[in-house]
């Protein structure tokens, strides 16, 4: 008996939905939301009833009875850090989506899925939300204890592309080391080691390369001076980092095709800024290859900007010596969501239980009265091994240095 799955992906200016019968999409729709419509709501969470009604109306108008659904899955939001996987939208998860620490349209995905699934009498899920956190302990530490590095990236698309590459290569995702670069309105670059993302850039908070609408990492001193200059409010500065930074700040557009057209018209400033963005992305790919100790099976480039061969060729020129490069243009998050739900229905993937957790403070790692995933990971990393390892390159280097005569 085939499974029918409803996938829901709320975005900043649209809500995309699709119905899949097993692996095949039988209905897809993008419901646009105008700025005028969105202005009627004070916050993202206030849009819940409105967006849910739009989804249900669209299904009804297209003859889709929700009682024929096998499952409903929505895009995950800004919840507690979780490991990669599929999570049922339990009461804890619903609460944390309703009271998310950051405004983001993806917070509505699991909420709408839960409401429709309850009406249909089936289970609701999310999969690989943006807060998937599998970072190694020392990747979390910045130079200021008050500002730890967090894992917030395009987990859903990155994981889907990584698994697709593994399948096409006849290998398991869990056996590969990959650098995956997602290039969209925000750009994230991640180090995937044996099925886990051990380090990543955080595009939501402005870290990593700059992108069409985000500033990327900035010089901290000048940024602090700008914050206290009196020129901008806190809200305006946050907007400069996330939403009005990057290409938008420099060129007044977030459209890479438009920038490429301007370059063809001999706009050298547009050429300079686009190349600078690509250069910053290339540097992050190099950094993530170091996180994998140089053992990289492939570099995967995905996202909407990956449709541009001029962009991917420019990046390849910098990183092609690291590993083979594979380009997967676009992002099909609805398909990824449906595939995750289907794997659960078929018993191929186990459903995880979401538990709301407090922030794991690295400065409290020595307090054994407190549970700490960071402590567990660090202890596992430093445990002695009985394996015999060859002399490292750096030891060879030190030996040569020690033997050198002055």
For 260, half-sphere exposure in the C-beta direction (CA atoms, 13 angstrom radius) is 12
Alpha-carbon separation of residue 399 from 123, 155, 390, 404, 405 (angstroms): 61, 42, 14, 9, 12
Residue 378 pLDDT exceeds 70: yes
Task: Give the span between the Cα atoms of 67 and 81, in whole angstroms.
Answer: 33
Cβ–Cβ under 8 Å, residues 194 and 134: no
The pLDDT-based confidence of 384 (bands split at 50, 70, 90) is low
Mean pLDDT, residues 364-390: 73
Provide the whole-model pTM: 0.86
pLDDT in tens, 219-267: 999 999 999 999 999 999 998 998 889 999 999 999 999 999 999 999 9
Contacts within 8 Å (CB) and 24+ apart, 339-343: 339/23, 339/160, 340/73, 340/86, 340/125, 340/127, 340/128, 341/5, 341/7, 341/71, 341/72, 341/73, 341/86, 341/125, 341/127, 342/3, 342/5, 342/20, 342/22, 342/23, 343/86
Residue 50 pLDDT exceeds 90: yes
What domains can you pick out in the chain, each with its CATH number? 1-132+332-406 (3.30.420.40), 155-330 (3.30.420.40)
Look at residue 383 in the predicted model and tell me its pLDDT.
61
pLDDT in tens, 2-22: 999 999 999 878 899 999 999
Cβ–Cβ under 8 Å, residues 177 and 323: no
Cβ–Cβ under 8 Å, residues 110 and 89: yes
Look at residue 385 in the predicted model and tell me its pLDDT.
55
Cβ–Cβ under 8 Å, residues 121 and 129: no
Q: How far is CA 108 from the centre of its chain?
A: 17
DSSP states of 356-370 as a string?
A: ------GGGTT-TTS
Q: Nearest CA to 193 among 183, 208, 180?
A: 180
Mean pLDDT, residues 52-62: 97
The secondary structure element, H or E, covering residue 375 is helix 373-382
Look at residue 373 in the predicted model and tell me its pLDDT.
79
Mean pLDDT, residues 26-39: 91
Mean pLDDT, residues 320-339: 94
Look at residue 242 in the predicted model and tell me its pLDDT.
85
Look at residue 324 in the predicted model and tell me its pLDDT.
97
The pLDDT-based confidence of 56 (bands split at 50, 70, 90) is very high
Alpha-carbon separation of residue 216 from 211, 245, 246, 276, 285 (angstroms): 7, 8, 7, 12, 14
Cβ–Cβ under 8 Å, residues 243 and 213: yes
Task: Give the span between the Cα atoms of 322 and 289, in whole angstroms.
Answer: 7
* Percentage of the chain modeled with pLDDT above 90: 75
Look at residue 375 in the predicted model and tell me its pLDDT.
84
Intra-chain end-to-end CA distance of the chain, in Å: 79
pLDDT in tens, 58-100: 999 999 999 999 999 999 999 999 999 999 999 999 999 999 9
Regarding predicted confidence, which is higher, 386 or 258?
Answer: 258
Alpha-carbon separation of residue 83 from 69, 130, 152, 198 (angstroms): 27, 11, 12, 11
Mean pLDDT, residues 193-200: 97
For 106, half-sphere exposure in the C-beta direction (CA atoms, 13 angstrom radius) is 22
Task: Give the span between the Cα atoms of 228 and 232, in whole angstroms.
Answer: 8
Cβ–Cβ under 8 Å, residues 326 and 165: yes
């Amino acid at each position: 008996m085939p499974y029918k799955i409803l996938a829901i992906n709320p975005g900043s200016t649209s809500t995309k939905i699709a119905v899949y019968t097993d692996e095949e999409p039988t209905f897809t729709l993008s419901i646009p939301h105008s700025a005028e419509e969105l202005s009627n709501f004070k916050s993202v969470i206030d849009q819940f009833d409105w967006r849910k009604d739009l989804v249900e109306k669209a299904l009804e108008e297209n003859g889709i009875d929700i009682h024929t659904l096998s499952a409903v899955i929505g895009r995950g939001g800004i919840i507690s850090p979780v490991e990669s996987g599929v999570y049922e939208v339990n009461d804890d998860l619903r609460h944390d989506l309703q009271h998310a620490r950051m405004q983001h349209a993806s917070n509505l995905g699991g909420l709408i899925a839960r409401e429709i699934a309850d009406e249909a009498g089936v289970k609701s899920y999310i999969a690989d939300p943006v807060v998937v956190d599998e970072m190694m302990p020392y990747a979390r530490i910045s130079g200021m204890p008050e500002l730890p590095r967090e894992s917030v990236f395009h987990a859903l698309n990155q994981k889907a592309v990584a698994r697709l590459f593994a399948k096409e290569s006849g290998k398991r995702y869990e056996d590969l080391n990959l650098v995956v670069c997602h290039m969209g309105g925000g750009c994230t670059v991640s180090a995937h080691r044996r099925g886990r993302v051990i380090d990543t850039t955080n595009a939501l908070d402005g870290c990593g390369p700059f992108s069409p609408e985000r500033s990327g990492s900035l010089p901290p001193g000048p940024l602090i001076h700008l914050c206290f200059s009196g020129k901008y409010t806190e809200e305006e500065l946050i907007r400069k980092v996330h939403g009005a930074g990057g290409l938008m700040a420099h060129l007044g557009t977030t459209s890479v095709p438009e920038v490429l057209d301007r370059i063809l018209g001999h706009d050298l400033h547009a050429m300079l800024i686009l190349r600078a963005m690509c250069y910053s992305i290339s540097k992050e790919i190099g950094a993530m290859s170091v996180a994998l100790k140089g053992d990289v099976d492939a570099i995967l480039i995905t996202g909407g900007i990956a449709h541009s061969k001029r962009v991917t060729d420019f990046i390849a020129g910098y990183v092609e010596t690291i590993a083979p490069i594979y380009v997967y243009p676009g992002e099909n998050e609805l398909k990824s969501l449906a595939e995750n739900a289907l794997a659960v229905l078929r018993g191929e993937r186990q459903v995880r239980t979401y538990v709301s957790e407090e922030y794991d403070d690295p400065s409290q790692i020595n307090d054994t009265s407190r549970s700490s995933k960071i402590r567990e990971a660090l202890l596992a990393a430093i445990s002695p091994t009985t394996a015999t390892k060859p002399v490292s390159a750096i030891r060879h280097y030190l030996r040569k240095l020690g033997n050198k005569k002055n």
